[in-house]
Structure formats: structure tokens, C-alpha cells
Chain A
Amino acid sequence: MASETVTITTRSSRPAPWRDPKIRAIVVQVVFVAVLVALFAFLGNNTIVNLRRQNIATGFGFLDREAAFGIGESLIPYSPADTYARAFLVGLVNTLYVSAIGIVLATILGTVMGLARLSSNWLVAKLAQVYVETFRNIPLALQLLFWWALLRGAAPPPREAWQLLPGIFISNRGITFPVPFAEAAYPWMALALVAGLVIAFVVRRWARARQERTGQQFPTGWAGLGLALGLPALVFLASGAPLRLDVPALHGFNFAGGTVVSPEFGALLIGLVVYTGTFIAEIVRAGILAVSWGQSEAAMALGLRSGQRMRLVVLPQALRVIVPPMTSEYLSLTKNSSLAVIIGYPDLVSIANTTMNQTGQAVEGIAMIMAVYLAISLLISLAMNLYNRAVALVER
């Protein structure tokens, strides 16, 4: 073997500047930011030039002008004489309304279906599987169009409306169902409900403290349920059980009385709930399967009944797995509600679209939609993160 000369380079205090990681990092970042800034400047400049050439106004001044278009359904008072800002607000309220109801119903449907897939009943498990596999694999846009065609096109006119249950009618004017007339006792019943919940909470704290001290158990759940439902029921009975239903009845060519849900809203809600429900079902199923069987066996060895086993041992651990993906399902349901534009439900995107067509101010319109959705996304993930912190595993 030839002898090799080992040269030991005594490293001078610093390497050459083009080899120094610190200097390199700074150079790379400066170049990166410069390229980005140049790109944005180029695009921005083009946009300004193009807008000027096409005589399109810029800025949010249009929000104060008269919108001059009608909106099919609105939870807040609105007329075409109102401003664009008001129209946007109507759209935002509609988006939030359908998303909130959708999230609640999809959670219920998804949880039921997720548990059904784990059922020891073969038929129920298979039916739930068929539901999940079918509706998960069909695009939401198609499902919305389908439900809309069913409610608007295939449903009969009010005179021959399908009667789902007594008083609930489906016709091409929408879904009509009875609502109770407002009575003086109802606000008091709401108050009684709140009082019942507060007392139930206090009872729960007392029962916890007593169980820690003496080991004696107290049926908190039943007591709480009794308080929360019993107090309003007492008020209801004490005030003479005032219940008059405003039942829809045929009047000429349409229904009078009751409340009607438009085919657009109905189709959007059904589509969102059925589609998102499949994903929630899979999340719930995976969450419960993630709790190892040993946990259940240990709970049985401690003598817990099956209800207690689920409530005290399996569910708290499953929730840790379930909550993070559930957040993204809620977010995607909210974002998917923007597909309302396909079937003409006046949500935020559909109203912004009309506005952009009327004013030509696409940049502002899209910026407003994006800002609103980003804000909603951040709020939902904040809320779910807080909840997640409450159920997360407390580690050392």
C-alpha cells in the first residue's frame, strides 16, 4: 500500500463565504423572496393594467351601492333595494345556517352508521357498509343535482304531494311540515331548560366530589336528564299545556300554514349530510377499532356493565382518535356548502358570483369569499382544538 500523506488542514476561523451554511441560507432566502416579489409585482401590474384597460373599477366602494337583485331565501330581512354588503351578509348567514345544521345532522348520521358497521347484527352491518361505500364514491355535485331533481322535478305538485308522515308533505314547492304556534309559556320553558342544565351541572360536581370522598355513586346521567327535560315539562303542564300546531293544509294551489323548506335548501342539506356522513362513519368506526380489545376486557374484569364500559373506558380513548379527523370533516362540509351555487341556493359563493357578474369586480369578490372561508376554517379548527385539548391524553 502506498503511503498516503495525510494533510490536516487547520481550519481557519471561517470557511470560504460560498461554503458557509449561514451565508448560503441568507442568500438562498433573499433570492427566493426576490423572485416571489418580482412574480407578484408582475401579476399585480398586469392586473392593474388590464382592469384599467377594461374600465373596471377597483376597491370595495361597490358594497354601498344598491344590489338590485332578489334573493330566494333569506334568514334576515332583505330586498333588492338593499346594498351589496347586505346581500353578502344574507349569503354568509345562509352558508353558516346550512353548515351548522349539516354538521349536527351529519355527526348523528355518521355516528349511527359507524356504530352500525361494527354491529354484531350481520344485516345492519352490511346495510351500513352499502350506505358508506355507495355515497362516498359518488361526487357530491352529482348527489346534489340528483336530490334537487328529485325534490324539484320528480316530486308532484302540492295537490298530489307525497305525505311522508301525517302533516309532513313533499311537493315540488319544497318540504312542508307543521310547527307549533308561539305561546307565552315557551320563553319560560327555555328558561327552565337552562335552569335545569345549570342544576344538573351543580349536581354532577357534587356527585363527583362525594364519590371521590366516600365511593358512593349517584346516577348523575338520569338525574341530569330528568332535570333538563323535567323542569320545562313542569312549566309546560303548569301553564295548561298550550300546544297548537300550525298544520299545513292545501289552500288553492299551494300549502298554507306550517313551515316550508325550499327544494334547494332541502337538496343541499340532504346531499351534504348523506355525503359527509359516510366519512364520519368511517372515522367513528376507525376510532372505536383503535381502542384495543384488552381495554374492554380489563373493563369487564373490573365488573363494569357494557354501557359503563363504552362510556367510561372505550369512548374517552376513541375520542382522541376521532376528534382530529372529525375537524377536517366539519371544515370540508362547510367548504362543500359552496356547491350550493350548482342548484341555486343563495349561499355566499352564489351571491358573490351574482355580484361579480353585475359589477365585474372579480378580484374583490373572490378576495371576500376567500377571507370569509379562511375565517370560518380558523374558527372551527380553533374550537375543535380546544375540545381536542380537553379529551387529549395527558402525558407526563
Chain B
Amino acid sequence: MADIDIAEEIPLPAQQRPPIVSSGVIGWLRANLFNSVFNTLLTILAVYLLAMTVPPLLRWALIDAVWSAPNGQACRAASGGAGACWAFIGDKMRFIFFGRYPYQEQWRPLASVIIVIGLILASCDRRMWGRRLILLWPAGLVLVAILMWGGIFGLPYVATEFWSGLPLTLILAVIGMAFAFPFAILLALGRRSRLPAVRVVSVAYIELVRGVPLITVLFMASVMLPLFLPAGVTIDKLLRAQTAFILFAAAYLAEVIRGGLQAIPKGQIEAADALGLGYWRRTRLIVMPQALAMVIPPLVNNFIGAFKNTSLVLIIGLFDLLNTANTSLTDANWQGFATEAYVFIAAIYFCFCFFMSRYSQMLERTLNRGRRR
């Protein structure tokens, strides 16, 4: 019998590279942009739209833009009216950021902004969560108050009517949320209370505030709050707006917290009862820690909403970031640069909100790791 060498009979498959059409750049293009007739049409349409919009935008914002000019007319002459005039932003930057705050003292709002941003960043670090943050926040806010108001340590006193720009926006948002939070916890507990009077009042408050626009609450605070107070008691504009923010944000926060309360299994409450804890100790030690941990991502989203909502104070005449930008447009030397100003502060708002929303998404992923299968 002759030995049959199988290896000779059946040739080994040739070393083949993967087909060019399913790997590399072309493969990726085929899989992601041209995988069906419909998708090919969509891709062509999208590329057409991009080609129509992106080059003119780039030309306006970068290529034809003017970066320095002494005044509006020179700026417009230099760009030929075709490009953005970022020189306007350069000239108005300090006013947009700090507004009517005395020029010599503007390092104080700058320091306050840095402190608040620092506090927010520190709160994002999960290792900091706990007692340390509870001590850090009041300390930081007291420091901000000293810096902004002054009147001690040789700092000249600056009345709240001069607070403006980015510090005002941040203060409204941060203080608003900080004070709304305890109020919201009480409202959420009230809504789930077994005492009918407490429950009815909580539900009425929450639904009433959530049913009306923030503007009406702001109007109410700015027009009606002075009427509510006894004759002779006055309350400054910033505090009125801040009160409106707290009352408004609390109703929305209360609903978020109620979501967390409802997700607590009944067994937890029964176990607390079995240990002999009363209502307040049960709430403080067993219910709230679990409920709040569950709703941290929606709380961050609420904070983003509150931050964006601060822009409405321009209606009652406070100089927040949006209003300082708006006011900078009225300078006779720089007429007609609204687009530049709005794009600039839109970028600032975007940075804050985008960072926080990314953080909330990240948090949602990490916090849910234990619950996900």
C-alpha cells in the first residue's frame, strides 16, 4: 500500500488577508455610512448639509474674524462685514463676566467664582462625599459672602445691586439649590405623610408651583413680596429673586426625592419600626440615606436646569451673565455685535451644563453597577 500523504493531496488554504471591502477605512465606511440605499441617501444628504453650513460658519468665526480693533467701526471695516468681530468680546470681557461690580475690586468676584467652581469640582469627587463636604460647603460660601459683600478685613462694602455677571449666576444657582434641598425633603416627606392636612398642603404647594412658569414666581417675588411684608421692612432685589428660585426649585426637587422615597422597599421601614425607631430617626437613619443615594443623577440634572433657569432673572432686572452680555450691546462704540456676544456666553453656559450632564451620566453608570446584571 502506498502511503498517501494527505498534506500533498489537499492544499493548505492560502494565507489570505481579510477582504479589503470589510476592514479598514473602506470597510468602516461601508458598514457605517453606505450599508443600504436609504443610508447612502442619508449620508449624501448629511454631507451636503455639512458642506453648505460648516465652511461659511468657519469663515465667519475664524478665517474672516477680527481679533483686535479699537472700536466697532474699525472692526467692521477690517472684516469687511463678513467675519465675526471677537475684538468686541475682548473689549467687553470684564464687563460680561463681572458687570457693574466696582472695577478696582473685580478680583473679589473672580476669586468667588474660582471658589464656587472648586466646591462644585470637589463635590464631584466621590471620595469627598460625606462629612468633609458638609463642612467644606458652608466654609466656602462664607468666604464667598465675605469676598462679595466686603465691609470687613479692609475690603470696601459692595451692595448686592452691583453684583453681576458670572458670580451672580453661580450664586443664584448654588444658593438656590442648597436652600431648596432641605425644603424639598420636607415637602417630599409631607407628600407621603399619613397626616391628611400635611399631605394636602404639600401636594397643593408642589402642584401649584410646578403648574406655573418660573417667570410668574419671579414676578410674584419681585412685585408681591414687598406687599407681603409689614410696612417699613424692605428686602433687596437679589434676595427676592433668590427666594423665588428656592421656592420654585424646591417643588421640582421634592418630586425627585419622592421618587427615591417610593423606591425604598417597605421591609426597610418595617425593620426600622421593629428596631423601635421613631418617625424622625427612621427617616434620618434608614430611609433618607437610601432614597437620596438613589436619586443623585436626577438631582444633578435638576441642578443643570436650575443653572439654566438663572438666566430668567434678566426679566426682573438683575444683571446675571445673560443680562451683562445684553447690556454690553448698548455701547455706542460697539453697535450690532449681538451674535458675537450671545455665541460667547452660550459657550460659557454650554461648558458648565455639558460638564455636569456628562458627570451625571458617568455617575448613573457607576452607581448602577451593583444593580445591573
Instruction: Specify which chain A residues have a CB less than 8 angstroms from the CB of B231 in the assembled complex.
Output: 46, 49-50, 53
Looking at the complex, which one of A32, A141, A143, A378 makes contact with B312 (CB distance below 8 Å)? A141
Instruction: Specify which chain B residues have a CB less than 8 angstroms from the CB of A341 in the assembled complex.
Output: 215, 315
A28 vs B189: C-alpha distance in the bound complex, in angstroms?
15
| Interface members, chain B 207-228 (any A CB < 8 Å) | 208, 210-216, 219-220, 223-224, 226-228
A24 to chain B, nearest CB (A): 10
Is A79 in contact with chain B by the CB < 8 A criterion?
Answer: no
On whether the beta carbons of A33 and B342 are closer than 8 Å, the reply is no
Looking at the complex, which one of A51, A123, A146, A339 makes contact with B43 (CB distance below 8 Å)? A123
| Interface members, chain A 335-386 (any B CB < 8 Å) | 335-336, 338-339, 341-342, 349, 353, 356, 362-363, 366, 369-370, 373-374, 377-378
Instruction: Specify which chain A residues have a CB less than 8 angstroms from the CB of B333 in the assembled complex.
Output: none
Looking at the complex, which one of B33, B213, B349 makes contact with A122 (CB distance below 8 Å)? B33
Instruction: Specify which chain A residues have a CB less than 8 angstroms from the CB of B311 in the assembled complex.
Output: 139-142
A140 vs B215: C-alpha distance in the bound complex, in angstroms?
13
Is B6 in contact with chain A by the CB < 8 A criterion?
Answer: no
Instruction: Specify which chain B residues have a CB less than 8 angstroms from the CB of A150 in the assembled complex.
Output: 339
On whether the beta carbons of B215 and A36 are closer than 8 Å, the reply is no
Contact with A along B34-50 (1 / 0, CB 8 A): 01000100110011011
| Interface members, chain A 87-137 (any B CB < 8 Å) | 119-124, 127, 133-134, 136-137
On whether the beta carbons of B39 and A121 are closer than 8 Å, the reply is yes
Is A241 in contact with chain B by the CB < 8 A criterion?
Answer: no
Is A211 in contact with chain B by the CB < 8 A criterion?
Answer: no
Closest partner residue, chain B, to A56 (CB atom): B227
Looking at the complex, which one of B214, B219, B336 makes contact with A353 (CB distance below 8 Å)? B219
- Which secondary structure characterizes the binding site on chain A? helix
On whether the beta carbons of B213 and A154 are closer than 8 Å, the reply is no
On whether the beta carbons of B47 and A370 are closer than 8 Å, the reply is no
Interface residues on A, range: 35 or more
Segment from B63-71, B159-167, B193-201 that makes contact with A: B193-201
On whether the beta carbons of A47 and B228 are closer than 8 Å, the reply is yes
A127 vs B227: C-alpha distance in the bound complex, in angstroms?
51
Looking at the complex, which one of B35, B210, B342 makes contact with A120 (CB distance below 8 Å)? B35
A36 vs B195: C-alpha distance in the bound complex, in angstroms?
15
On whether the beta carbons of B228 and A377 are closer than 8 Å, the reply is no
On whether the beta carbons of A145 and B227 are closer than 8 Å, the reply is no
On whether the beta carbons of A122 and B224 are closer than 8 Å, the reply is no
Instruction: Specify which chain B residues have a CB less than 8 angstroms from the CB of A315 in the assembled complex.
Output: none
Instruction: Specify which chain B residues have a CB less than 8 angstroms from the CB of A124 in the assembled complex.
Output: 39, 42-43, 46
Is B10 in contact with chain A by the CB < 8 A criterion?
Answer: no
A378 vs B212: C-alpha distance in the bound complex, in angstroms?
11
Is A138 in contact with chain B by the CB < 8 A criterion?
Answer: yes
Closest partner residue, chain B, to A378 (CB atom): B211
Is A180 in contact with chain B by the CB < 8 A criterion?
Answer: no
Instruction: Specify which chain A residues have a CB less than 8 angstroms from the CB of B349 in the assembled complex.
Output: 137-139, 142
Instruction: Specify which chain A residues have a CB less than 8 angstroms from the CB of B215 in the assembled complex.
Output: 338-339, 341, 349
Instruction: Specify which chain A residues have a CB less than 8 angstroms from the CB of B195 in the assembled complex.
Output: 25, 28-29, 32
Instruction: Specify which chain A residues have a CB less than 8 angstroms from the CB of B230 in the assembled complex.
Output: 46, 49
Looking at the complex, which one of B212, B336, B346 makes contact with A374 (CB distance below 8 Å)? B212
Segment from B145-153, B280-288, B350-358 that makes contact with A: B350-358
B226 to chain A, nearest CB (A): 8
Is B345 in contact with chain A by the CB < 8 A criterion?
Answer: yes
Interface residues on B, range: 35 or more
Closest partner residue, chain B, to A134 (CB atom): B350
| Interface members, chain A 126-177 (any B CB < 8 Å) | 127, 133-134, 136-143, 145-146, 149-150, 153-154
Contact with B along A17-51 (1 / 0, CB 8 A): 00000000100110011001000000100110111
| Interface members, chain B 318-373 (any A CB < 8 Å) | 322, 326, 336, 338-339, 342-343, 345-346, 349-350, 353-354, 357
On whether the beta carbons of B308 and A140 are closer than 8 Å, the reply is yes
Is B32 in contact with chain A by the CB < 8 A criterion?
Answer: yes
A122 vs B40: C-alpha distance in the bound complex, in angstroms?
11
On whether the beta carbons of B213 and A46 are closer than 8 Å, the reply is no
Known contacts A46-B228, A121-B32, A127-B46, A366 near B220 by CB under 8 Å: yes
On whether the beta carbons of A338 and B213 are closer than 8 Å, the reply is yes
Is B314 in contact with chain A by the CB < 8 A criterion?
Answer: yes
On whether the beta carbons of B196 and A47 are closer than 8 Å, the reply is no
Closest partner residue, chain A, to B304 (CB atom): A137
On whether the beta carbons of A137 and B353 are closer than 8 Å, the reply is yes
Instruction: Specify which chain B residues have a CB less than 8 angstroms from the CB of A363 in the assembled complex.
Output: 224, 227
A377 vs B43: C-alpha distance in the bound complex, in angstroms?
41
A338 to chain B, nearest CB (A): 4
Instruction: Specify which chain B residues have a CB less than 8 angstroms from the CB of A136 in the assembled complex.
Output: 353, 357
A370 vs B220: C-alpha distance in the bound complex, in angstroms?
10
On whether the beta carbons of B212 and A373 are closer than 8 Å, the reply is yes
On whether the beta carbons of B219 and A142 are closer than 8 Å, the reply is no
Is B51 in contact with chain A by the CB < 8 A criterion?
Answer: no
B259 to chain A, nearest CB (A): 12
Looking at the complex, which one of A43, A49, A139, A335 makes contact with B212 (CB distance below 8 Å)? A335
Is B229 in contact with chain A by the CB < 8 A criterion?
Answer: yes
Closest partner residue, chain B, to A25 (CB atom): B195
Is B309 in contact with chain A by the CB < 8 A criterion?
Answer: yes
Instruction: Specify which chain A residues have a CB less than 8 angstroms from the CB of B339 in the assembled complex.
Output: 146, 149-150, 154
A102 to chain B, nearest CB (A): 14
On whether the beta carbons of B32 and A145 are closer than 8 Å, the reply is no
On whether the beta carbons of A46 and B229 are closer than 8 Å, the reply is yes
A337 vs B249: C-alpha distance in the bound complex, in angstroms?
19
A140 vs B308: C-alpha distance in the bound complex, in angstroms?
8
B334 to chain A, nearest CB (A): 13
Instruction: Specify which chain A residues have a CB less than 8 angstroms from the CB of B35 in the assembled complex.
Output: 120-121
On whether the beta carbons of B47 and A146 are closer than 8 Å, the reply is no
A345 to chain B, nearest CB (A): 13
A-B contact pairs, 12 of them (CB 8 A): A32-B198, A46-B228, A46-B229, A119-B39, A123-B42, A127-B50, A136-B357, A137-B308, A335-B212, A335-B214, A339-B213, A369-B216
> Could you list 17 further interchain pairs (A-B, Cβ under 8 angstroms) beyond the known A29-B195, A373-B212?
A29-B196, A33-B197, A47-B227, A53-B231, A120-B35, A124-B46, A133-B357, A136-B357, A137-B308, A137-B354, A138-B350, A140-B308, A143-B346, A339-B215, A363-B227, A369-B219, A374-B208
Question: Nearest 4 CB-CB pairs, A to B?
Answer: A137-B353, A149-B338, A122-B32, A29-B197
